[in-house]
Amino acid sequence: MIPYKAPLRDMRFLLNEVLDFPAHYAALPSGHDADADTVNAILEGAAQLCEDVLAPLNQSGDLEGCHFNQGVVTTPKGFKEAYQQFQAGGWQSISFPAEFGGQGLPASLNLFKSEMMGTANWSFSMYPGLSMGCINTLLRYGTAAQKQQYLPKLISGEWSGTMCLTEPQCGTDLAQITTKAVPQADGSYALTGTKIYISAGEHDLTDNIVHIVLARLPDAPAGTRGISLFVVPKFNVDNEGVMADRNTVQCGSIEHKMGIRASATAVLHFDAAKAYLIFEENRGLEAMFTFMNTARIGTAVQGVCHAEAAFQGALPYALERRSMRALSGKKEPEHKADALIWHPDVRRMLLTQKAIAEGGRHMVYDALKIADHMFHASTVGDEASYKQHDTELGFFTPILKGFLTELGLEAANLGIQIFGGHGYIQANGMEQNVRDARIATLYEGTTGIQALDLLGRKVLLGSKGQCVRDFTGKMLQFARPNLLQGGVKGAMARTLAWKAAEWNWMTLAIMLRAPKDRELVGSASVDYMMYSGYVMMAYSWAQQAAKATDLLASQQGAESADFYRAKIQTAEFYFARLLPRAQTHRKAALASTRSVMQMDKDHFAFS
């Protein structure tokens, strides 16, 4: 079992010293109540819940898994009691409007809590986590009646929510959806079909589960243009928001999975279930992306969570486990062998985990400032501001989701490697962390789908490269004052300036070649996304190193000198050892498509 300690010092460093969240909250209408005392109370309260309640259930929940019996799903021992504590603490309501029972605080505060929950127990965090997108979709697109019926109990945590997209014959290709919704005389719809891989689709933690479901109307156009969005509760709800009779939604089974075993992944059968249209007919995908963007940011956090868990598990082991002598001579002569921490390759692995976790945390937190503005604009109905911030966040989303989940999985694998054979067995929790991390690169869009979204939709078609120019402009603005300086700040500034130019040159090269080579975007996209992620993380580490350097030079940083030195040294490691990977991805992204496409499909089987 991996013991969990919330990384509050690092979180506060980012919030208060690097990203200046106090000023950010002061400028937000929804942030007036997010003063220092309130933020600290939320961080500390969430840390206590995660350390004392959720983390102890992580391994036992994995070992027991969920139970299925004739449509009834029971979560592992302790989960129901933990959820009751979660609900009683008001943790679901942090960032939602007061008119529906929420606390009206900025959305980012909820994600800070979610990060801690996810590191402590990712399986548990998925139950309330899936409700977030359901709530956000209803807030933005639901009718006044739907909001009154569902939101108060979803926001209180008394009910939970899901999203139901995937069907047996289709995953990412939603154009193949066949679930039907037939209009009824009372204004409702009779929805029939089967949905698979529905996280938290059935469980015993809440009395009701509100499903957001994609389906087709009888006369809908073919393809994605003919998809509508519906709300389908497990138990029907009257106009006052009170549960009534059971709807015709049944859980046919739950999946037996590689990881996140304590999270119920359900097959749901809708048999003329009573459903209600959300938004407009045939515009379901547009509304659904509110849900998907929320989910993708949440999954990006998962990459940070598994990197943090791997580091927290591996570091104590490396400090205590002894094997051989350090190459430079005895470090602990009082013992028969030196601790693993003295071996350079073990340090490389630990620093990789640390760099991924702390660099990824900064990347997510930086993006959350945009999300705060977007959610506020949505709440007050400012469509122009909403679209502006949604577009800006849309550039971050595929990089955060695709890049950070891939690196989170790498960090989890390094955890096993540091433990050696002891990491491969169940008792130490490292193999569970890898199994749990593996799904993050798959759901809410695989790494390849995120990469296509970034390069194809966001960079080439959506903005003609403007989103890259905007972001690299920020990099240059940060780097420019330090270009002629010596030391760490100057060296990193010069590297950032070069990477900013290089990222734009690579984008332009692909943009010029793509019209003549229809397969180029598909062959280049993953390498392009990984390059983008490494450069974006370099920018994150440069900001942290610069702030730590400044604080060390002042009396203000005296009490945390060791912390700041560790920040600078981790940043130096990132620039020296991890950022060079970007060059390989750049070369691969610009390589000829022929290397990928020339082999005849029948020749793949030759051995």
H or E element in which residue 267 lies: strand 265-278
For residue 307, give the amino acid letter.
Answer: A
Residue from 256, 261, 184, 251 nearest 217 by CA:
184
Give the separation between CA 61 and CA 76, rounded to whole angstroms.
Answer: 5
| C-alpha of 437 from chain center | 11
Give the separation between CA 253 and CA 321, rounded to whole angstroms.
Answer: 43
Q: What is the dihedral of CA 21, 26, 30, 31, to 10 degrees?
A: 50
Beta bridge partners of 254: 266
Give the separation between CA 344 and CA 570, rounded to whole angstroms.
Answer: 14
Give the separation between CA 400 and CA 364, rounded to whole angstroms.
Answer: 7
Beta bridge partners of 250: 269
Q: β-pairing, 160-164 with 209-215? A: parallel
Beta carbons within 8 Å of 16's beta carbon, 6+ residues apart:
22
Beta carbons within 8 Å of 59's beta carbon, 6+ residues apart:
1, 2, 429, 432
For residue 447, give the amino acid letter.
Answer: T
Q: β-pairing, 235-237 with 243-246? A: antiparallel
Give the separation between CA 184 and CA 483, rounded to whole angstroms.
Answer: 67
Buried b / exposed e over 82-117, threshold 16 CB at 10 Å, is bbeebbebebbbbbbbeebbbbbbbbbbbbbbbbbb
**For the chain, first and last CA: distance in Å?**
43
* Token pair 């966001």 in the structure block, residue: 458
- The tokens describing 425, both together, are 């067995």
Give the separation between CA 375 and CA 187, rounded to whole angstroms.
Answer: 30
Give the separation between CA 482 and CA 471, rounded to whole angstroms.
Answer: 18
Q: β-pairing, 180-183 with 249-254? A: unpaired
Q: β-pairing, 228-233 with 209-215? A: antiparallel
Confirm whether 255 is a catalytic residue.
no
Cβ-based burial of 78 (10 A; exposed 0-12, middle 13-18, buried ≥19): middle
- The tokens describing 547, both together, are 């702030």
- Cβ proximity of 448 and 401 under 8 Å: no
- Cβ proximity of 480 and 490 under 8 Å: no
Check 167, 202, 358, 444 and give the catalytic one. 444
Give the separation between CA 549 and CA 568, rounded to whole angstroms.
Answer: 7
Give the separation between CA 41 and CA 220, rounded to whole angstroms.
Answer: 50
Give the separation between CA 462 and CA 110, rounded to whole angstroms.
Answer: 30
Give the separation between CA 124 and CA 126, rounded to whole angstroms.
Answer: 5
Q: What is the set of active-site residues?
A: 444
